[in-house]
Amino acid sequence: MWKGRQIVSATTPSEVSTQGAKTKRQLPEALGLVVVLLALVIFFSITSPVFLTTTNGLNMVTNIAVIGIMAVPGTFLLIAGQVDLSVGSVAAMCGMVTASLAGPLGIPAAIGVGLLVGLVVGLINGFFVMIVGVNSLIVTLGGLATFFGIGQLIGDGQTILVQGFRFLGTARPFLNIPMPVILFVTVLIIGILILRFTVYGRQLYAIGANPTAARLVGIPSKRVVFIAFMFSSIAAALAGLILVSQLGAASPNNARGYELLVVTAIVLGGASLSGGRGTILGTFIGLMIIQVLATGLTLLNVQSFWQSVATGILLITAVSFDRLRERLSPTN
């Protein structure tokens, strides 16, 4: 712990001023996201009478729960200058593993194996990125294809039905709130606490802002990022289990394309592709913008194809603004 405190204090005056400038920029950026979100809510509330209802609001939060659970550790990675594009395939593969073992082992043991597989995937990703030195984009892109293929092999390309596994996806144990929402809020709170109040969170920011300086002051960069990859894959496994529970079946196509939504939400929320910047709150607002847009377009009977177009445009726009911020930053 003492070592972590020393790391935080080992900053030059220029680094302190840089951190101050970033703190000043966080508020306008967050306000800008909130304004966009409110504008979308107002527009769809006017155009659709059922949009601004409690039921629809709860449905939207439930819909983003699976993606949000993956986006929290995804924010950790992007802050550290890394990315995990394999989360969708990992979620589907772990769901297939759990479904295939639910009969012979029972559901509790199958869930444990599914989460364990997620942990192993995190170890594999972390090993190739931090030990072998392969770019995380390449490693996780390869993982995306590999784990999707393994998921198909497990079920021979077919959907596997699961009986008696509904509590994780459809139960409402507290105040009629769906279990996926409870799990998402729990992960969200844990993510906020880690980034704001722990040495590990400060180390993630330091590694993303300047990997060389972080290493020189004694931050165990490999271990920190390794753990972040493990968090990411375990969260993906949990998301996959929730999907299986919601659908009552596992498919190799479950969660396919979710990695795009995860990255879009994180970058839209203000995280930098260069690392060193990002917040869980920003990611949550990014998730809500994506879901409000998707729900509003659905209520307006807009074809689902256009929703994919809108998501792609959001990602391009968010990345463009990120690049523009980097260029206009007084520290560059």
DSSP characters for 262-302? HHHHHHHTT--TTSS---HHHHHHHHHHHHHHHHHHHHTT-
Q: What pLDDT score does 326 carry? A: 66
Angle between helices 258-268 and 304-328 (to 10 degrees): 40
Please provide the distance, in angstroms rounded to a whole number, between the alpha carbons at the two ends of the chain: 32
Q: Cβ(75)–Cβ(265) under 8 Å?
A: no
Domains of the chain (ranges; CATH) run 25-327 (1.10.3470)
Q: What pLDDT score does 14 carry? A: 39
Q: What pLDDT score does 75 carry? A: 96
Q: Report the predicted TM-score, pTM, of the whole model to 2 decimal places.
A: 0.86
Task: Please tell me the distance from the alpha carbon of residue 71 to that of residue 154, in angstroms, as a whole number.
Answer: 26
The three-state secondary structure class of 182 is helix
* Pick from 113, 277, 310: nearest CA to 210: 277
* Pick from 147, 65, 78: nearest CA to 114: 147
The three-state secondary structure class of 33 is helix
The three-state secondary structure class of 161 is strand
- In the chain (332 residues long), the average pLDDT of successive 10-residue segments reads 40 39 48 84 90 88 94 96 95 95 93 96 95 94 95 90 89 88 96 95 94 91 95 96 94 90 90 88 92 88 79 78 67 53
Task: Please tell me the distance from the alpha carbon of residue 224 to that of residue 204, in angstroms, as a whole number.
Answer: 7
Q: What pLDDT score does 2 carry? A: 40
Q: Tokens for 216, please give them.
A: 């020189």
- The CA-based angle 304-307-313, given to 5 degrees, is 155
